[in-house]
């Protein structure tokens, strides 16, 4: 039975090699020369990544007709949707960062590429640490759950957050240790003038993007553990969500006004996932108490919240456009 197949080092190695191949193909072939990513191109790549993600989810249950491995597929899809949804909030923050630093559109993809590569490494380390903590200390699940509920409520009631790169400690340290050119030098992160390594503003943007993703990962990584504690599913769902983030940025960045209620939806998602983690610590034998919330129910609830928030945002955006035309 597929559900009893043990994930080995070969599965991990094969998946990571595939990711490296796609990343190399992306940077070395499709985006070798800097260019502005148009909406149609971004939408095409977003469709490709979403299709690959759901296709991979089906691979976890090749005997889906008989029900073998269905739980793994549902957990992967649920985790993927949660991670992708939380990444959408990250998209809008990235848009603010690019605006703050006045990054030329043709260089934004390169920043996102290397930023996402760093995010994969950081999240891999965080997933490994989280898995080790949960396996050793079951009460960590309750700590994660309480943190997600708190974060969701804070997101719901706190006003819009603005970016303040000048307060970024890593950015200030980089400026102190290295010289920084006042102007961009193509898509280069560094240049050598008088024999001394000098950073370009693009390198500073990359530092801010990396630290911003680290902050977002503090929310998204605990959220996936509410769905499953299987390391392979946790890691792969995160990877697919992050890989699709670049193209998703270019799809959504120009239509931020159509997602005004998304933040509210994400706050409800975090509260729900945190509550699930508190009430249903995934069948752990030493759980203090347990109210079962299946992965299928979680998938339906999360999908309904996200779709509803986006639908309400689109309706509100169109209503404002019609009002503006009449006036």
Distant-in-sequence, close-in-space partners of 66: CB < 8 Å, separation ≥ 6: none
What is residue 7's predicted lDDT score, i.e. its pLDDT?
Answer: 73
Q: Which two tokens stand for residue 217?
A: 């990962």
What pLDDT score does 305 carry?
Answer: 92
User: What pTM was estimated for this model as a whole?
Assistant: 0.84
pLDDT bin (cut points 50, 70, 90) of residue 255 is: low
pLDDT value for 221: 86
CA distance 65 to 83: 27
The number of beta carbons lying within 10 Å of the beta carbon of residue 16 is 15
Residue 304 has pLDDT above 90, yes or no: yes
DSSP 191: E
Instruction: Give tens-digit pLDDT for 142-172.
Output: 888 898 899 889 888 876 556 677 777 888 8
> What rounded mean pLDDT belongs to the chain?
81
Q: In what order do the strands lie in the sheet with 190-192?
A: 179-180, 197-199, 190-192
Whether the per-residue pLDDT at 23 is higher than 50: the answer is yes
DSSP string of 49-78, one letter each residue: HHHHHHHHHHHT-TTGGGTTTHHHHHHHHH
- Residue 3's pLDDT is 43
Is residue 286 over pLDDT 80?
no
Do the Cβ atoms of 100 and 230 come closer than 8 Å?
A: no
Lowest-confidence pick of 31-35, 84-88, 271-275: 31-35
How far the first Cα of the chain sits from its last, in Å, is: 64
Residue-wise pLDDT for 179-233, tens only, equals 888 888 888 888 876 667 788 999 999 998 888 888 888 878 888 888 888 888 8
């Amino acid at each position: 039975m597929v559900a009893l197949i043990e994930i080995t080092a070969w599965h991990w190695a094969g998946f990571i090699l595939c990711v490296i191949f796609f990343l190399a193909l992306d940077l070395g072939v499709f985006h070798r020369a800097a260019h502005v990513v148009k909406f149609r191109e971004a939408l095409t790549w977003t469709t490709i990544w979403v299709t690959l993600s759901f296709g991979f989810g089906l691979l976890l249950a090749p005997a889906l007709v008989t029900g073998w491995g269905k739980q793994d597929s549902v957990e992967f899809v649920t985790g993927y949707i949660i991670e992708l949804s939380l990444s959408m909030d990250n998209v809008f923050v990235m848009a603010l960062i690019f605006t703050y630093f006045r990054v030329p559109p043709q260089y934004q993809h390169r920043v996102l590429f290397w930023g996402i590569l760093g995010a994969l490494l950081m999240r891999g380390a965080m997933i490994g640490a989280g898995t080790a903590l949960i396996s050793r200390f079951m009460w960590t699940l309750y700590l994660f759950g309480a943190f997600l509920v708190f974060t969701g409520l804070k997101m719901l009631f706190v006003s819009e957050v603005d970016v303040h790169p000048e307060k970024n400690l890593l950015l200030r340290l980089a400026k102190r240790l290295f010289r920084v050119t006042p102007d961009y030098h193509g898509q280069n992160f560094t240049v050598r003038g008088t024999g001394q390594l000098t950073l370009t503003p693009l390198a500073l943007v990359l530092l801010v993007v990396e630290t911003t993703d680290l902050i977002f990962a503090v929310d998204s990584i605990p959220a996936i553990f509410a769905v499953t504690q299987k390391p392979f599913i946790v890691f792969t769902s995160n990877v697919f969500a992050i890989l699709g983030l670049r193209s998703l940025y270019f799809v959504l960045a120009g239509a931020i006004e159509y997602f005004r209620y998304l933040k509210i939806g994400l706050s409800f998602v975090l509260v729900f996932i945190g509550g699930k983690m508190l009430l249903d610590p995934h069948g752990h034998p030493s759980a203090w108490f347990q109210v079962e919330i299946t992965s299928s129910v979680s998938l339906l609830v999360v999908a309904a919240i996200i779709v509803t928030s986006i639908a309400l945002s689109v309706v509100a955006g169109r209503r404002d456009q019609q009002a503006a035309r009449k006036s």
